[in-house]
Amino acid sequence: MSDRSLSGNERILLLCLLAFYREIGPGATPALKGLDEEAGLERWEIEEAVAVLRAKGLIEYWELQPAVRLTPEGLRAVLRLPEEGDA
């Protein structure tokens, strides 16, 4: 997957989830509540990005919490993104 196929909000969310992954580990499953503030996005922007990334298979979604987690493909995709300032 080309990183150009991701919107800015989708990239921001993936990078935020990568930070959780690096800090907590592969099982990091942050709740959507509060993730909007962590990512610096509005709640509707998070929900939109989650829907697209989920459809692309880059994240898993749990409705009961609701929470999200990177899939292996999502981890590979976010690791291919340029670092901040490189773009």
Give the pLDDT confidence score for residue 26 in this predicted structure: 86
Q: In degrees, to the nearest 5, what angle opens at C-alpha 87 toward C-alphas 20 and 18? A: 10
What are the two backbone dihedrals, phi and then psi, of residue 62, each rounded to the nearest 5 degrees? -115, 115
Give the pLDDT confidence score for residue 28 in this predicted structure: 87
Domain ranges of the chain: 7-80
What's the CATH architecture for 7-80? Orthogonal Bundle (1.10)
What 3-state DSSP class applies to 68? strand
Q: What mean pLDDT comes out for the span 30-41?
A: 91
Q: What mean pLDDT comes out for the span 6-17?
A: 94
